[in-house]
Chains A and B, each alone.
Chain A
Amino acid sequence: MQALTNRAKPVSRKKMNLWESMYLPEILRGMFITFKHIFRKKVTINYPEQTRPFSPVFRGLQILNRDEEGRENCTACGLCAVACPAEAITMEAAERQPGEEHLYREEKYAAKYEINMLRCIFCGLCEEACPKDAVYLSETFAPANYQRKGFIYGKKDLLIPHPKEDPEAYAKAKGSRKLHPEGHGNEK
């Protein structure tokens, strides 16, 4: 059989010579090897304190975006729900009332917007479908939960923090991910 890599080493089945069958020298050799490992660098990353950087194309938890004045972008057109292969998104539309212009950018907005994180496959098609730059995938992932219903994320979980009232949290939620790579096609 041909070896897949050049690191493969066939098992030697030859008879042990006297030195090897005395066993103790070989044990000492083995113990020396393990002793050297005490001084090796640890490979573990202390997870909650330290995190591994994500790749630039990482797709995490969805976020509902706001514009610079903090108004919600989403206009409840439903394109994301249609695009979603896992049928994870549901929403209810509502009409913007006079006086609510500072809350919603468009005349129609999503009164209810839910994503079922157990169904979502984090494919990012909703992000690509959205004409309003309203939904995109961030750099976090859904934390564990004790109940199924805890995985249905409503608007209050998804909405990005207000850019003016809480700029720090806004920047953090937005992350460093490049939202509009060249040729993405959603630029307005």
Chain B
Amino acid sequence: MHLLAIDWAVFTEKLVLIIVVVSASLVIAMYSTYAERKIAAIIQDRRGPNRAGPFGILQPLADGLKLFFKEEIIPKFSSKFLFILGPSIAMLTAIMIGAVIPWGNKIHLFNRDISLQIADVNIGILYVFGIVSLGVYGIMIGGWASNNKFSLLGAMRAASQIISYELAMGISLIALLMLSGTLSLKTMVDQQMDHWWYIFKQPLGFLIFLVCAFAETNRTPFDLSEAENELIGGYHSEYSSMKLGFYLFAEYVNMFLSSAVMVTLFFGGYDIPFVNDHTLINTIGTNWMAVLQGGAFFIKIVCFLFLFMWVRWTIPRFRYDQLMNLGWKILLPLALFNMLVTGAIILLHQNNWHF
């Protein structure tokens, strides 16, 4: 009987959390587009958008409005259902990653401890991987449904790129999982609160993960899948109006959430650096602590977002064969090597070899 009873408090609590996380990711993604244009401008000695509102901060709204007002075209011989499904899946999978990320430890409200994580699933990392690989479907379906051979070719390029880099990404993470011994993101953060961040134990793993994250989110230098100046947009060449907006927007949501994943895995998540969190929590209380931790997490994410944009406006795009070479011939062996070395060191430690 108790299995079916719904705990309404938990239900509301999670619902509010979901709404907050989703809208926060959307708003942040929205302002990443603005930040992207500003950073591009600043790096190129220009000014960037500065007309809509003070410093142009209303620019994302204006862009969104523009996309909404554009004519919506669904090609005549496309399969209509799939055509609409494509961008929806891209957006959905992008947002779903946010469910397992611990945004802070917990807050104490209405006599309840509320965890700031939507779902503390014990296979957190696997969930992230599963969702990321679903993202390929958004691209493939979009390219396929357009009934345009160039869209299809673009989608194939994008899909093969994402699948190739997923491999190296997964293997680079195995080394990390061997160290942590858990798949839950929350437990990983807890481990990093008391010890070194994993970036210091797994620098090579982090590097591989970072490069793969760039490839997974289709960011320069791996943005071959949409390469607007050579591929007329790749898989989304037939898309217009807000459906195109969804694809473009999903990229920014992806960027934000993959930054969040990287921070969680390698940079201590919501851990505040140089501070002993346990003593601090006693002096300022749980709720203020949660605010501080959330702030620390956010700052780390913003640094990563800046890195994403900074790299985009520095490096030219890879050629396709170079991209495949890098993925299969360099990153994959490197990840395997990293895994072997980590395994060997763990083995030696367990056999009481101290060095």
By a beta-carbon cutoff of 8 Å, the part of chain A in contact with chain B is 24, 27, 30-31, 33-35, 37-38, 40-44, 46
Contacts and interface: CB of A to CB of B under 8 A. Distances in A.
8 contacts: A24-B207, A27-B311, A27-B314, A33-B314, A35-B43, A37-B44, A40-B45, A43-B45
Contacts of B311: 27, 31
Interface residues of B, number: 13
A101 to B, nearest CB: 50
A42 B313 CA distance: 17
Interface string B301-313: 0000000001101
A31 B310 contact: yes
B16 to A, nearest CB: 39
Contacts of A35: 43, 310
Given A33-B314, A37-B44, A41-B45, 15 more contacts: A24-B207, A27-B315, A31-B310, A31-B314, A34-B310, A35-B43, A37-B42, A37-B45, A40-B45, A42-B45, A42-B47, A43-B45, A44-B46, A46-B47, A46-B50
Contacts of B46: 42-44
A37 B43 contact: yes
A43 B315 CA distance: 23
B314 A34 contact: yes
Contacts, number: 33
Interface of B: 42-47, 50, 207, 310-311, 313-315
Contacts of A30: 314-315
A24, A34, A35, A46, most chain B CB atoms within 10 A:
A34
B35 to A, nearest CB: 13
A38 B314 contact: no
Contacts of B314: 27, 30-31, 33-34
A15 to B, nearest CB: 16
B331 to A, nearest CB: 12
B199 to A, nearest CB: 16
Contacts of B315: 27, 30
A59 to B, nearest CB: 30
Give the 9 A-B CB pairs with smallest separation, nearest first: A34-B314, A44-B47, A34-B43, A30-B314, A31-B314, A40-B45, A37-B43, A38-B42, A43-B45
A33 B314 CA distance: 9
A81 B55 CA distance: 48
A177 to B, nearest CB: 30
Question: Which of B45, B310, B314: most chain A Cβ within 10 A?
Answer: B314
Nearest to B211: A24
